Amino acid sequence: MSSLVIRGARRASALSALALLFTVAMVTAPAQAQDDAPSAAATPAEAERSDTVQELFRRANELAFAQNYAAALEVYGALTDVGIVDPDVEQNMAVCHARLGDLPRAIFHFERSLLLRPDEGVEQALAAAEDALARARAEEEGEAELVRDTHFARALVRGVSERALAVALLLGVAALCLALVVRRRVVGEVPRVIATLAALFIALWSLGSGSGLVIKQGWLRDGAPAVILDDTVALHQSPDARSPVLETPARGGERAMILDEYEGFVRVRLGARQGWAERDQVGRLR
């Protein structure tokens, strides 16, 4: 692969080998440190924690720029271990995994980043990683197929953040209440009809926003979304490493749904297949 750019504003980087195009977005550590600087009202403990987080992020970026991707991943991992949930951290981890040739984990972290903040560049990077993985497997094995989440409703809200949907819902409910109050108080047939039509439109808006939020949160899904992390993962018939395995294993980068967990194993569904896999071989997205 050609050069991969860890973004310091918002710029795209093209990777030619394996037709892998990663458009990666990543703010620079100094800029983020300035934006997230602790306020004067912050307690000493909060300020110290913020400084530590910024220092870790800055150090990880420096290692990534120096192409020491394995070490950078360790530092980014330290951030996630202390509870930092950030789309830029997830993007950077995806880039590092991709540069190390671990495309399944790159796909996992790109998906995590998109859940936190929809971004067209990350969408392109994710599609490129999937394409590169499929091409590599096709060249090696003769054919390749990745199980993806192609649900129509989830595709509609994929490019909208949960925060935007929640804000739209709250504003819609407030506007609907206002429209109903206005309808009760206006005098005349024409103003009343206008207020009624406005209330109906706002109600539909609120319904759409609420439905999108429900879909985005996965409240109606059976299980938790996940990505297979290792290249080949055996699917057992029961949560026991000694139990028989299914003929077709799960492959790295495939989308799955976690249906159950038991003593280091998770029961996953991949399309029509179901089986038990070791927990550390499956990355849970939520």
CATH number, residue 67 = 1.25.40.10
pLDDT digits (tens, 9 = 90+) for 230-247: 999 999 999 998 999 998
**Cα–Cα distance, 118 to 45 (Å, whole number):** 32
Q: Residue 37: inside a domain, yes or no? A: yes
Dihedral angle sign, alpha carbons of residues 61, 63, 64, 69: negative
- Measured from the Cβ of residue 228, the count of other Cβ atoms closer than 10 Å reads 27
Within this chain, do residues 88 and 108 fall inside the same structural domain, yes or no?
yes
Compare 44 and 67 and report the one with higher pLDDT.
67
Q: Give me the pLDDT at residue 1, please.
A: 35
Nearest CA to 154 out of 208, 224, 218 is that of 218
Compare 158 and 40 and report the one with higher pLDDT.
158
Say if CB 50 and CB 38 are below 8 A apart.
yes
Q: Give me the pLDDT at residue 16, please.
A: 29
Distance of CA 11 to the CA centre of its chain: 20
Please enumerate in sequence order all residues whose Cβ is within 8 A of that of 126, keeping only pairs 6 or more positions apart, or say none: 107, 110, 111, 114
Q: Give me the pLDDT at residue 25, please.
A: 35
Q: Single out the residue in 114, 141, 168 at which a domain terminates.
A: 141
Q: How many CA atoms lie within 13 A of 262 on its CB side?
A: 12
**Cα–Cα distance, 232 to 266 (Å, whole number):** 15
Share of the chain above pLDDT 70, in %: 75
Q: Residue 266: inside a domain, yes or no? A: yes
pLDDT digits (tens, 9 = 90+) for 156-171: 666 677 788 889 999 9
Which CATH number do you get for residue 278?
A: 2.30.30.40
Domain carrying residue 78: 13-141
Within this chain, do residues 94 and 213 fall inside the same structural domain, yes or no?
no
Per-residue pLDDT band at 140 (split at 50, 70, 90): confident
Residue 224 dihedral angles phi and psi, to the nearest 5°: -110, 135
pLDDT digits (tens, 9 = 90+) for 203-223: 999 998 888 887 776 666 778
Within this chain, do residues 21 and 43 fall inside the same structural domain, yes or no?
yes
Per-residue pLDDT band at 274 (split at 50, 70, 90): very high
Q: Give me the pLDDT at residue 279, please.
A: 93
Q: Looking at the 3D structure of the chain, how many domains does it have?
A: 3
- Termini Cα distance of the chain: 31
Q: Give me the pLDDT at residue 113, please.
A: 92
